[in-house]
Amino acid sequence: MAKLFEPITIGNLTLANRIVIAPMCQYSAEDGRMTDWHAMHLGNLAQSGAGILTIEATAVAPEGRISYADVGLWDDETETAMGKVLESVRRWSDMPIAIQLGHAGRKASTAKPWDGGGQIAPYAENGWQTVSASALPFLAHENAPQALDKAGLDRIRDAFADAARRAARLGIDAVQIHGAHGYLLHQFLSPLSNRREDEYGGSLENRMRFPLEVYDAVRAAFPADKPVTMRVSGTDWVEGGWDIEQTVAFAKALEARGCAAYHVSSGGLDAGQKIPVGPNYQVPLARKVKEAVSMPVIAVGLITEPEQAEAIVATGEADMIGLARTVLYDPRWPWHAAAALGATVKAAPQFLRCQPRVYKDLFVQA
C-alpha cells in the first residue's frame, strides 16, 4: 500500500490516511457566525476522502478575526451557527473534523482579499483597534497595535480555552492552535515583532511563554482523549527573525506538554520576507522538526502531485501532508491520488458509480 494511504494515529484519534485538509479562510461569516457557504464548502471537502478536515482559522474573540468576515467561536451565537453547519456535514460524512483556533493580533481588522485585503482603520466601518506583543505595525503605514498588558494576555488565553470548550461541546475531534503566518502567537515567538522587556519578551524562553500558556489552557479545556496540535511557521525568512532552530526548541517544549502533532508552515510575519517558493519549499523545515521529536509532523506548501506527496511521507520527511489551495482547486484530490498510487479511498454510496473502469478497486463504500 502507498504510505500516503496508511492509517496514522494522532493522540487517540486514528485517521484513515495521511492527507490533512488544512484550514482555508472563506471570508464568508456574518459577525463570526458560519453561513450556508460553510455548509456547502465543508460538506464538499468532507466527501474528498482525506484523513481529516480542518475548519478554517476561527477567532477566539471578535478583535482576533483576520477580517470582519471571519469565522469565530466566542459566544453562544457563533457556537450555534457552527453547530448547524457541523450537523449538516456529519449527516453525510464520518470524516474526523478538526478546528484551528487563532487570534490575528496586529494582522487583524482587514478587508476581504478580493476587496484588496488591506488593513481597515479602527475608526472606519468594519475596522477595530488591533493588539500584539508590542506596538509595532505589520506595515509601516498601518495603524499600530496596542501592546498587550498582563490582563490582556490573560483575557486572550482564557478566550482560547473557552473556544476549546465550545469546540468540545460541538463534538469536534481535534484542535489546532494557530501559531503561524504572523498572527498573534507568532508575533510573540518572533524577535522581529516581540520587543517586550517583561517575562514575555527577550529570550527564547520568554518569547515562547505566552504561546505555551495558551497551549496549556487549551489542553486543559479540551477533552483529554482528544488531540491538541500546533501550527507554526518554521522560519520568518528574514535575517534575525524566528528560524528553524527556535522552531525545533518550541516543538520540544510542546511535545513535553503532550502536543499531539506539529504542522510546519513558514513566513507571514514580516513584509521583508524572501521566500524561495517552489514545490516542497517548506518540506525541509518539517524534516528538521521530525528529526528532533517523536510526535507526528505535518508538511505543507505547494504539494500538488500524488507522487510528490507519497515521496514526502514514504521517505520520512514528514508523517502527513497538508493540502489547502490544492484541494480547494480539486476537492477530489485524494481520490485522484489513490488512483495514481494504486490505493483505495472511502467514497459515499452516492458516488460509487462514478468509479472509473480502469480503477476497479479504487472506492471503498463509506
The Cα–Cα gap between 298 and 314 comes to 13
Residue type at 277?
A: V
- Give 128's Cβ-side CA count (13 Å radius): 16
Query: Which residues are paired to 98 by β-bridges?
Result: 54, 174
Of 276, 275, 318, 274, which is closest to residue 300 (Cα–Cα)?
Answer: 318
Could you tell me the maximum CA-CA distance found in the chain, to the nearest angstrom?
A: 65
- Catalytic residue, candidates 27, 183, 215, 262: 183
CA 31, 264, 297, 204: dihedral to nearest 10 degrees? Answer: -100
Residue type at 337?
A: A
Written as one string, the DSSP assignment of 124-141 is STT----EESSS--SSTT
The Cα–Cα gap between 161 and 178 comes to 13
Of 55, 72, 147, 64, which is closest to residue 110 (Cα–Cα)?
Answer: 64
Phi, psi dihedral angles at 295 (to 5 degrees): -70, 155
Collapsing DSSP states into helix, strand and coil, what is residue 325? helix
The Cα–Cα gap between 288 and 270 comes to 22
Helices 244-256, 283-290: axis angle to 10 degrees equals: 50
What CA–CA distances, in Å, run from 199 to 87, 206, 231, 241? Answer: 43, 6, 23, 19
Query: Which residues are paired to 232 by β-bridges?
Result: 179, 264
- Catalytic residue status for 123: no
Name the pairing type of β-strands 52-59 and 228-233. Answer: unpaired
What CA–CA distances, in Å, run from 305 to 26, 54, 355, 360? Answer: 24, 21, 20, 22
The Cα–Cα gap between 224 and 260 comes to 11
- In what helix (H) or strand (E) does residue 58 lie, and over which residues does it extend? strand 52-59
Active site residues: 183
